[in-house]
Chains A and B, each alone.
Chain A
């Protein structure tokens, strides 16, 4: 009912405008949905998190640093040790085809529709941002995406250019923003009515799918409304990125690291501008078919697991570490506009997870997990081992101060407890 009235009022207004001789209404395109124009509209004391998936674990004995002395597969973190906590854990149900499990669909084995932890955390941390969460990929396979929400895969955007365009592209018209907004909302109203009609026609069949569509439509509309009501914060209209001048399409012809760096640029800009507080970055997929562009080992990551010495596998794992380290380094260097006087890393947690312990034999032991942050609730500058990967995720939830949202009633709680364990004792201050 509300929407109908809204629409009619809009049309009445515009009809009036037309009759009184208003200029023909321009029709600038939305393009990107202008999330940047709601930038930094968040409260102080931001909490952000980036989940990073890396495939196929790491060769046993070659990943975990010895104190501050980095290992073969973690050399890329040189200079970042103080903000990192390297943790080896058992990867529960290690193996192929399990990416979403390592991100902890928290009621897994019992409930196929459960959300991955990034989506659960986003339901709290993303409640007031333009995007509740946003998922990026680097050569991520569409059929093996890491995130799940409401029983559906959360697609990863493999193209940095497309992600940048969506988050920062476009601009609302400089005049007649009311008319612009009304036209766009009228289009959405037509489809809101179509959704309602289709729901009525189908009854309970696929109701959830159509209701998700309605929610998405509301979110898109809200971003549209916000985009004409707010000015973008400084540096958020077209944030700088791609200092290396790399190709931005994310295709497999682009060096994996370069695309990872571009996606990290997008992540830092999106977090910095308050477009979202929760991002997920999927580096490849479990078959690890990516190549290193400047590695001595010339085969793909998968080949380094099964037909190469462990040192080669470690080199490829370190290539992945270079991807993650670039992100962490950017967060260390970037001022946090939402909390003046601090850096992004002070208010952001990077959580690296994987789907195997050691990809060479698909075993689950000694799986490389890593936390990078300077949030005081986390212990960093150290290494540890023990427990399992689900316990790490539980610790992250606690470290972000979200324990109050945990509970077993899916209708009443936004985050489901899953692992317990003692890992939190080591990871948290």
Chain B
């Protein structure tokens, strides 16, 4: 039975602050609801709804189907977030309404009216997590998608397909959208200006590629070249099979323009919708069943063993030669390969191969291991196809010989000029002696319980989805080969690929991007600090890498639990950063784990602290708000116009006066400066009094992320315009699970804050919440809905996704707080391959 996360509601927004002058009805509302005989727990809540309609809806709008509506007013209305209202006011919600609502006509909804309205609001609040999740989860459905590649995905794909260097994505005008703080292209299309950018990029990449022999050079028969282009490039660029119609288009292109064929074909491919969009639409259930998707009937593929791939470019110079991105045998010959991964018994050797045919004479592919013949396959196709050879009785790292022995020299071509054999990559797939953990038994019909209205991703779409989800790039050859070979079928097979992708170089970079976006680390790169010349771009880059390295450590090292991301007494430095921080030691260009007092993790880091600062001062407000939002997933509404009361100008002027008076007495620390500016302004008190200003104890870092010198106990020295002033590091976090939680933490300085939250449930659940959003683009939490993009959750989605989050949390905890295990769990969930 999976462990359940505690059921809780999310964090705060400010019902208190909302007003809507002049829009509230003047009537007293219906008389019926004030009848004391009407029970508050009226199952239909119609009476409360009457009050709501009469007195509240003018400002707050009507509750829709999605009952918890963000009050972020991004859609232009000051709508009510029921979760936030209940969370903020707790048992005092009705009393608040009684005393202060409607804000422009307080006193017109008192007593029973306030009780019934409060009851209505409470009924609309939604739990973040369901009370229970089934032990045997039912199929869960993601969302059908057609998404443009993000800038990073676009660049990565160009590099992986062609080795094209450069940041071409950045030239596409300002085009990366976002959902929930992570780059996401849902709902974004192209216009003529952005399409032009793609066209210009394609021209540039194609020119570079053709001048560098990429993807291959082909001077022979145009039709053959075209087919080779389709099979060896387009299949990967389009992440799956190319239709006959599209093949014909490219053949025509090659035949019509033989001199420029590769240039034009690449231009077409790199501006094709099949390349520019991630297609995750699936096929209907009937079709999926007919095609046997996820039926578990595929050949036994990789379980949780290892896969090692040798590309043709890595083949030793023996028989044959490299021909584009395949190894060509144009006459009898062979090559000998040695994998570094030890064989297991059994192992599988997978070889991607295609042949050429002359007079029905096809090449034969022969495999020997340690001199023993394993098998021979006739390669009777011009399409790159995977051939598998099961090897038993071998361990260690034996020699693998791949050979072509039947080149018979049939007339009229003569020896060496008839059939040819072409080898793509060669893979060793080992098996594990350990049974795969927590695997359901192979399903007779894995789609048996699937909703008839659901869509099922094709194996190629699944490969693409997994690749972008886990590596931020196009699927590699191994993954597409698995799709082609019907080996993305069982959960065990999918899990093996998921782990391989996560552990790949691209995967490591991708999860570095996750933490970079999560904590907005790249903001430091645009931070300008004119007074610190040594705050160079190299230092800023190193600051970002410092946190990425720390996250990679807890992500990939099984002995390093996630709590060490916040609570570890170490960080990762290279020479550039050590010099800037003033840390002595023997550092080089590589980042090394280093114990540094006062540093470590995403909060107590140079990147976070420098980014959350101003040009000449630190920014204690930003540090407080962004620490809560990023590390703990607390929600703090942006301040908008309704907070301003009639006397806001006078209150602000009074605050300004206090600052002026205190500055006349001496230099103000940033802590004092921003406290005085925000203290005593009634409209701002809802946030600043308890949520933000008490957290001003992270001032041990200066505005470029250096630790300030210690003064008296619990204080450091801040230099403001050349003058030193002592500043206290005392801070209090009121509310740990949420901003209104009754728990609190006292701390002294940023690292102490980080240490103290490290072992809380809030930190772990925030990882789950952000990880789910990053990987799927979805959310299970109403508070995370992006109203600017019209996001909503159905009741079914809310519950099903939350149960996945619960299982992610279980995986995290069960694997010594391994984020890697959490993402493996998520990527093998049914919502990845089932859509609606």
Contact = CB atoms under 8 A, between A and B. Distances in A.
A180 to B, nearest CB: 10
A143 B184 CA distance: 10
Nearest to A213: B190
Which of the listed residues A18, A109, A223, A298 has the most CB atoms from chain B within 10 Å of its own CB? A298
A307 B281 CA distance: 50
A96 B76 CA distance: 10
A183 to B, nearest CB: 6
B638 A363 contact: no
B256 interface: yes
Nearest to A198: B273
Interface in B193-231: 193-197, 199-200, 203-204, 207
Interface string A3-41: 000000001001100100000110101111100000000
Nearest to A215: B192
Contacts of A97: 72-74, 638, 788
B268 interface: yes
B788 A307 contact: no
Contacts of B643: 361-362
A14 B256 contact: yes
Interface stretch (B36-44, B242-250, B469-477, B750-758): B242-250
Interface in B635-662: 638-641, 643-644, 648-649, 652, 656
Contacts of A193: 245-246, 249
Interface string B259-285: 110011001100111100101010000
A347 B709 CA distance: 61
Contacts of B245: 193, 197
B649 A213 contact: no
Contact of B652 (A25, A187, A360): A360
A386 interface: no
A162 interface: yes
A191 interface: yes
Nearest to B187: A152
Nearest to B283: A201
A321 interface: no
Interface stretch (B111-119, B170-178, B588-596): B170-178
A33 B257 contact: no
A27 B189 CA distance: 29
Given A93-B73, A363-B644, A145 B174 contact: yes
B637 to A, nearest CB: 9
Given A25-B260, A93-B73, A363-B641, A30 B203 contact: yes
Contacts of A307: 673-674, 677
Given A14-B257, A187-B264, A307-B674, A155 B174 contact: yes
Contacts of A108: 75-76
Given A198-B273, A298-B615, A299-B614, A217 B195 contact: yes
B177 A96 contact: no
Contacts, number: 220
A51 interface: no
A31 B274 CA distance: 23
Interface string A198-230: 100110011011101101110110010000000
A77 interface: no
Given A198-B273, A202-B146, A205-B144, A299 B203 contact: no
Interface stretch (A78-86, A134-142, A411-419, A420-428): A134-142
B416 to A, nearest CB: 32
Given A187-B271, A191-B271, A155 B259 contact: no
A190 interface: yes
Interface in A123-157: 131-132, 134-135, 137, 140, 142-143, 145, 149-157
Contacts of B250: 190
A193 B641 CA distance: 50
Contacts of B260: 25, 27, 183
Interface in B381-425: none
A231 interface: no
Which of the listed residues B72, B176, B192, B615 has the most CB atoms from chain A within 10 Å of its own CB? B192
Given A25-B259, A299-B614, A364-B641, A152 B199 contact: no
A404 to B, nearest CB: 26
B200 A362 contact: no
B76 A131 contact: no
A166 interface: yes
B191 interface: yes
B553 to A, nearest CB: 30
A219 B190 CA distance: 12
A60 interface: yes
A154 B673 CA distance: 39
A205 B144 CA distance: 9
B586 interface: no
A186 B190 contact: no
B528 interface: yes
Contact of B193 (A15, A157, A208, A299): A157
A15 B195 contact: no
A274 interface: no
Given A98-B74, A190-B268, A360-B652, A143 B257 contact: no
Contact of B204 (A29, A33, A191, A356): A29
A193 B272 CA distance: 10
Given A187-B271, A212-B189, A361-B649, A112 B75 contact: yes
A51 B616 CA distance: 34
Interface in A20-68: 24-25, 27, 29-33, 60
A197 B200 contact: no
Nearest to B267: A187
Interface string A88-104: 00001111111001000
Given A193-B249, A299-B614, A362-B641, A15 B256 contact: yes
A32 B200 contact: yes
Nearest to A105: B76
A202 B281 contact: yes
A31 B200 contact: yes
A95 B196 contact: no
A300 interface: yes
A93 B77 CA distance: 7
A401 interface: no
Contact of B638 (A14, A95, A153, A205): A95
B652 A209 contact: no
A303 B640 CA distance: 16
Contacts of A95: 73, 638-641
Contacts of A166: 193, 196-197, 200
A309 interface: yes
A60 B652 CA distance: 13
Given A30-B199, A356-B641, A162 B171 contact: yes
Contact of B273 (A31, A154, A183, A210): A210
B157 interface: no
A57 B526 CA distance: 24
Interface of A: 11, 14-15, 18, 24-25, 27, 29-33, 60, 92-98, 101, 108-109, 112, 131-132, 134-135, 137, 140, 142-143, 145, 149-158, 162, 166, 183, 186-187, 189-191, 193-195, 197-198, 201-202, 205-206, 208-210, 212-213, 215-217, 219-220, 223, 251-253, 291, 298-300, 303, 306-307, 309, 356-357, 360-364
14 contacts: A11-B252, A25-B257, A27-B260, A30-B199, A143-B177, A150-B189, A186-B256, A191-B272, A194-B272, A198-B277, A209-B189, A213-B190, A291-B528, A300-B615
Given A27-B264, A198-B277, A291-B615, 6 more contacts: A27-B263, A150-B189, A155-B172, A155-B191, A190-B268, A303-B614
